[in-house]
Amino acid sequence: MRRLIGRVFQAAFATVASAIVLGSLSASPGAAQKIEGLAPTPPMGWNSWNHYGCNIDEALIRETADALVSSGLRDAGYVNVNLDDCWHGERDENGNIQADPERFPSGMKALGDYLHARGLKFGIYSDAGTQTCAGRPGSQGYEFQDARRYAEWGVDYIKYDWCNTGEGAEQRNPREAYRTMSRAIAASGRPMVLSVCEWGDNEPWLWAGQYGHLWRTTGDIINCWDCTVGHGAWSSSGILPILDQQDKLRSFGGRDGWNDPDMMEVGNLPTLAENRSHFAMWAMLAAPLIIGSDVPGMTPEITAILANKRLIAINQDPLGRGAMKWIATPDWEIWAKPLTDGEWAIAMLNRGDEAQSISIDWAAVELKDDTFGHRAEFAQRSYTLTDAWSGKAAGDTRTALTSKVAPRDTAVFRLRPI
Ligand code: GLA
């Protein structure tokens, strides 16, 4: 009897082990299928939606890929090239999804090959409903078939949206929907990042990490500083309204499961200060850094913001903590992000239209992250300060810091224990 149990156990173990090797655990209903290790730090890349909407084709994607390489943005870390809505054509007679033949005449496999040959990754978009938000074919009922197809094309990243999933009591269960796509990815045999995009409607920070590697926390971003634009049943928001919804979620984000305050509008905002602040705060939040602007036409100033290696290092710090709002006034805020080896990043955000002189008297403040148990002991330990924008030394914490921050701009400092 013991031997029989042993054999049954061995056989069961062998099945599970081979299922893991094959990336498929279909024998255990309800289990999460997520492929771990694909997003140890927040994903970085580009997505077509914010700047181009539905107006995309293969020439644009190739040009963008080339510009990511020639501008140095790929080497700065922006490796994912993500097609958003509207790449789709119709399904064929067997239900296989196809690219729009007019806009992508060379096909998706060729596009994936083009990206991979340049050291880039291939991202695609679909939707958990019957149709995408722009009315293209959705993946509901086709999840496994679509994931297999994406795998054949060499896709590395799927953004999975939430339009046309039904209304009220008839609405699709979001956990079921994202679990199904997660399983479909595992069954396809190709590791793909799953970007959960249900706009924060169902508190995805509580459950989406079982299935995906990042989850949208809000409705859509738009390229304004402090506006909200209604579209009937939904609204889009600018940088500050989105930022204001993030602090309460910081405990949920981390390795392989990131809070996603949406793709960046850096390059699409009217002033350099606003673009700088937006980038600085997304870096501080440990947000995915997905460029949403025109890369071939990017100005050198915007490229310099996006490629700032000190800001990127703050975002990509392996500790994986998002920033907390440390000190807040109606006009300005100071955010603090714990980093590895007891280092910290501090951002001084000027929300308003007047320049601000912002001071920190280190001896008089306490910096404690109660959620994750990090603290800076300014009384016992001093830290050097580096201006993260310029790379210049900015003194140390033995002397109070005063920084003049222009309207809507953000100063960022890195603190290293001496
Ligand atoms: C939704 C998403 C956006 C974008 C569009 C495409 O609104 O939230 O990010 O993908 O759909 O139609």
Exposed e or buried b per residue across 293-317, where buried means at least 16 C-beta atoms within 10 angstroms of its C-beta:
bbbeebeeebbebbbbebbbebbbb
- For residue 190, report the distance from its CA to the centre of ligand 1, in Å: 25
- For residue 357, report the distance from its CA to the centre of ligand 1, in Å: 39
**Three-class secondary structure of residue 255 per DSSP:** coil
Q: Are strands 193-196 and 344-350 parallel, antiparallel or unpaired?
A: unpaired
Q: Are 247 and 325 in contact (CB under 8 A)?
A: yes
Provide the greatest CA pair distance for the chain.
80
Q: In this predicted structure, what is the pLDDT of residue 5? A: 35
Which string of DSSP letters, residue by residue, matches 45-87?
EEESHHHHTT---HHHHHHHHHHHHHTTHHHHT--EEE--TT-
Angle at 64 (CA atoms; ends 302, 69), nearest 5 degrees: 75
- For residue 292, report the distance from its CA to the centre of ligand 1, in Å: 12
- In degrees rounded to 5, what are phi and psi of residue 158? -120, 125
Q: Are 46 and 302 in contact (CB under 8 A)?
A: no
Q: Are 85 and 133 in contact (CB under 8 A)?
A: yes
What span, in angstroms and rounded, lies between the C-alpha atoms of 157 and 183?
14
Q: In this predicted structure, what is the pLDDT of residue 31? A: 53
Mean per-residue pLDDT pooled into runs of 10, the chain (418 residues): 34 37 39 87 99 98 99 99 98 98 98 98 99 98 98 98 96 98 98 98 98 98 97 94 98 98 98 98 99 98 99 99 98 98 98 98 96 95 98 98 98 98
Q: Are 306 and 290 in contact (CB under 8 A)?
A: no
Nearest partner of 157 among 62, 44, 61, judged by Cα: 44
C-beta of 265 in contact with ligand 1 (< 6 A): no
C-beta of 54 in contact with ligand 1 (< 6 A): no
Angle at 28 (CA atoms; ends 196, 168), nearest 5 degrees: 45
What span, in angstroms and rounded, lies between the C-alpha atoms of 69 and 48?
16
Residue nearest to atom 4 of ligand 1 (CA): 49
Which string of DSSP letters, residue by residue, matches 154-205?
T--EEEEE-TTS--GGGSPPHHHHHHHHHHHHHHHTS--EEEE-STTTT-GG
Distances (CA, A) of 121 to 68, 114, 147: 12, 10, 16
Q: Phi-psi region for residue 251, left (φ > 0), alpha (ψ -120 to 50) or beta?
A: alpha
What span, in angstroms and rounded, lies between the C-alpha atoms of 48 and 100?
16
What span, in angstroms and rounded, lies between the C-alpha atoms of 201 and 128?
14
C-beta of 133 in contact with ligand 1 (< 6 A): yes
C-beta of 84 in contact with ligand 1 (< 6 A): yes
Q: Are 127 and 160 in contact (CB under 8 A)?
A: yes
C-beta of 260 in contact with ligand 1 (< 6 A): no
The letter for the amino acid at 71 is: S
Residue 220 known to be catalytic: yes
Nearest partner of 187 among 219, 224, 217, 149, judged by Cα: 149
Nearest partner of 391 among 412, 361, 370, judged by Cα: 412
**Three-class secondary structure of residue 330 per DSSP:** coil
318 alpha-carbon distance from chain centroid: 15
What span, in angstroms and rounded, lies between the C-alpha atoms of 54 and 83?
10
What is the CB-side half-sphere exposure of residue 291 using CA atoms within 13 A? Answer: 27
C-beta of 49 in contact with ligand 1 (< 6 A): yes
- For residue 127, report the distance from its CA to the centre of ligand 1, in Å: 9
Residue nearest to atom 12 of ligand 1 (CA): 133
Residue 161 known to be catalytic: yes
What span, in angstroms and rounded, lies between the C-alpha atoms of 28 and 48?
37
Out of 146, 156, 161, 369, which one is annotated catalytic?
161
